[in-house]
Amino acid sequence: MQNLHKIKQDMCDIGRRIYNRQFAAANDGNITVRVSENEVLCTPTLHCKGFLKPDDISLVDMTGKQLAGRKKRSSEALLHLEIYRQREDVKSVVHCHPPHATAFAIAREPIPQCVLPEVEVFLGDVPITKYETPGGQAFADTIIPFVDRTNVMILANHGTVSYGESVEQAFWWTEILDSYCRMLMLAKQLGNVSFLGGQKSQELLDLKDQWGYKDPRNTAAYEDCDICANDIFRDSWAESGVERRAFAAPPSLKTPGDDAAAAKAGPGGVDEEALVKLITDEVVRQLQA
């Protein structure tokens, strides 16, 4: 028999960690744990996640109807319930607004792959959903095309949602993602993002498989895809408004139209516009010498 009070305490602890990491301002974010086939514990609406008490947690059924609790359940509970309907193995869902990952949500910039070993093993390709007004079933339905192939998603112009076998595991995926997005931004400021390459990335996928973390890139369905080129969810980019703008694909994998930089590049991968400017500037400098 499950100890519901202990589960509520765990939810409150994750709420504090979310708030302390600045993943949720004011009353942002929501946390749920599925405790039976038709019952889900849910954090309240309009309540700061950093100061939750077990008595604040409500109980809802799989339709969203509140069964118990003195505070009204989260207005975004339907998002969580849809994940539970699609994934019977999932026991907890965490939604929040981590700033670095949410920056990618606002820019609708795909998360580069084949850069950091821990991300390859624990996350893999991270999709960006299409935007929908939060709260309703249409918003909840935006996760359906991706939910069976990942444990973390970026919600366009909104935040992230992650899920797992426990509330702590569900939070881990978001924490890893936001840390990675921050590293990408810092590396970009330094002027370069180096990729691991296909062979080394495949070694990580093999380790991931051995450790029991399934990745679509290691299945027959995607055996002809390039594991470093965000192939798993690329078909959804047009509908979601996702496009490479800040982070180019691995240099050897660029295709025409892949991003603005590739569009300007010549046959040899050289940015002809930049090269002409460089030559012109040098000519002017020599004439003024």
Q: Count each helix (H run) and each strand (E run) in the chain, helices first.
A: 10, 7
pLDDT of residue 267: 42
- Contact assessment for residue 246 and residue 107, using Cβ atoms and an 8 Å cutoff: yes
pLDDT of residue 268: 40
User: What is the phi/psi pair of residue 144, to 5°?
Assistant: -60, -40
User: What is the phi/psi pair of residue 139, to 5°?
Assistant: -65, -45
- Contact assessment for residue 241 and residue 106, using Cβ atoms and an 8 Å cutoff: no
Rounded Cα distance between 25 and 97, Å, is 8
Q: Which two tokens stand for residue 203?
A: 């070694």
Residue 174: CB atoms within 10 Å: 28
Angle at 27 between CA 119 and CA 166, to 5 degrees: 45
pLDDT of residue 213: 86
pLDDT per residue rounded down to tens, the chain (289 residues): 689 999 999 999 999 999 999 999 999 999 999 999 999 999 999 999 999 999 999 999 999 999 999 999 999 999 999 999 999 999 999 999 999 999 999 999 999 999 999 999 999 999 999 999 999 999 999 999 999 999 999 999 999 999 999 999 999 999 999 999 999 999 999 999 999 988 999 999 999 999 888 899 999 999 888 999 999 999 999 999 999 999 998 876 555 445 444 444 444 444 556 555 555 666 666 566 5
pLDDT of residue 142: 98
Q: Which two tokens stand for residue 240?
A: 């979601």
pLDDT of residue 212: 87
Contacts (Cβ under 8 Å, ≥6 apart) of 13: none
Of 244, 106, 85, which Cα lies nearest the Cα of 163?
A: 85
Tokens 């996928």 belong to 205
pLDDT of residue 172: 97
User: What is the phi/psi pair of residue 211, to 5°?
Assistant: -85, 0
CA atoms within 13 A on the CB side of 49: 29
Contacts (Cβ under 8 Å, ≥6 apart) of 185: 100, 103
Of 81, 99, 210, 96, which Cα lies nearest the Cα of 140?
A: 81
Of 50, 113, 73, which Cα lies nearest the Cα of 250?
A: 113
Sign (positive/negative) of CA torsion 42, 46, 49, 50?
negative
- Contact assessment for residue 154 and residue 230, using Cβ atoms and an 8 Å cutoff: no
Q: Which two tokens stand for residue 229?
A: 């080129």
pLDDT of residue 288: 64
Full-model pTM: 0.86
Rounded Cα distance between 82 and 134, Å, is 14
pLDDT of residue 263: 46
Angle at 122 between CA 117 and CA 128, to 5 degrees: 105
Tokens 């077990």 belong to 54
